[in-house]
Amino acid sequence: MNQNLWSLSLQDFFTKKMLTYAFVPFLFTMVVLYALFFSAADAGLDSLQESFVQVQSTKTTQENGITHTENTNVVYNGGSSILEFLMAYSITSWLVSFFVFTVGGMFIFVVAIFAAILVIGFLTPAIMRELQARHYPELVMEGHGNALTTLFHSLKYVMIMFILLIVLIPLYFIPLVNIVAINFPFYYLFHKFYMLDVGTTAMTKEQYKQMMYFKGNKVRTTTVILYVISMIPFAALITPVFNVIVLSHTVFRNKQAQLEAPTQP
């Protein structure tokens, strides 16, 4: 099997069966994002409608040698009035825009990726069996672990991701560096979830450890490329199946190399 990993994966992805599999996480993720968007919008608007901003200002004027001081106290009630006040000043306008587009966009992006990963986890065995029968009939899919260990590792990876998000906060304010700092925790979870999903399906525990020890950097390079592809707008909705295909070929080829190694002179 000397064909390039990426070209072979693309060929497999654009088959009728794989495109059908790709539609499932896409549909599920769209439903989740639709519900999440309107729930968040309703909650945000309700919160704004019940809030207020009080602005006090002092104006001093002098007329005919007499100084007049005028104090004003303006209260902005409700969401539309508060937003009008915030957008009236350049600094608050920038902060509001940053929060809405950057933080909101990142949140939706992360939800989209991991909602799709959650769904694709149920399809991974079927996808890998199809690839194994098509390209690696000589291999046996010897998985390891069970539902309890998978849940344990998943919770551990999520906890580590949140710890990384907190630890890296100082780097979020450094231009360019913040791009890497913000994405690193999410990439960590992306990599761990996919490798947990694919690796435990096709490899024994010893085979998986051996692959990550000798080929770990190559595997991480592959998942970095897949993560970057997933960052393309809306790509995360349709790439989960492609990601599983690429990583399945990676795992199968490493498994094949391990089995052939003892027979090599």
The segment with the largest mean pLDDT, out of 65-74, 76-85, 171-180, is 171-180
Q: Mean pLDDT across the stretch 153-172?
A: 92
Q: Residue 187, Cβ neighbours under 10 Å: how many?
A: 21
Mean local confidence (pLDDT), 147-160? 90
Phi/psi at 76 (5° precision): -100, 115
The per-residue pLDDT for 133 is 93
pLDDT of residue 235: 73
Write down the pLDDT at residue 21. 85
CA neighbor of 108 nearest in space, from 165, 166, 191, 30: 30
Query: What pLDDT sits at residue 57?
Result: 54
- Does residue 261 carry a pLDDT above 90? no
Residue labelled with tokens 């989740």: 32
Instruction: Average the pLDDT over 257-265 and give the result.
Output: 70
Q: Is 234 helix (H, G, I), strand (E, B) or coil?
A: coil
Is the pLDDT reported for residue 82 higher than 50?
no
At 245, phi and psi to the nearest 5? -65, -50
- Determine the Cα–Cα distance for residues 145 and 120; give it in Å rounded to an integer: 18
What is the mean pLDDT of the segment spanning 115-129? Answer: 82
pLDDT of 76 strictly over 50 = no
User: Cα 90 to the chain's mean position, in Å?
Assistant: 31
Judge whether 255 and 202 are in contact, CB under 8 Å.
yes
- Residue 216 vs residues 2, 160, 209, 253, 254: alpha-carbon distances, Å: 20, 19, 9, 14, 11
Q: 3-state DSSP: the chain helix, strand, coil percent, rounded to 5?
A: 75, 10, 15
Cβ 254 vs Cβ 216: under 8 Å: no
Q: Taking the complete model, does pTM exceed 0.75, yes or no?
A: no
Helices (H), the chain: 5-13, 16-49, 79-87, 90-98, 104-135, 147-167, 177-202, 205-230, 240-260
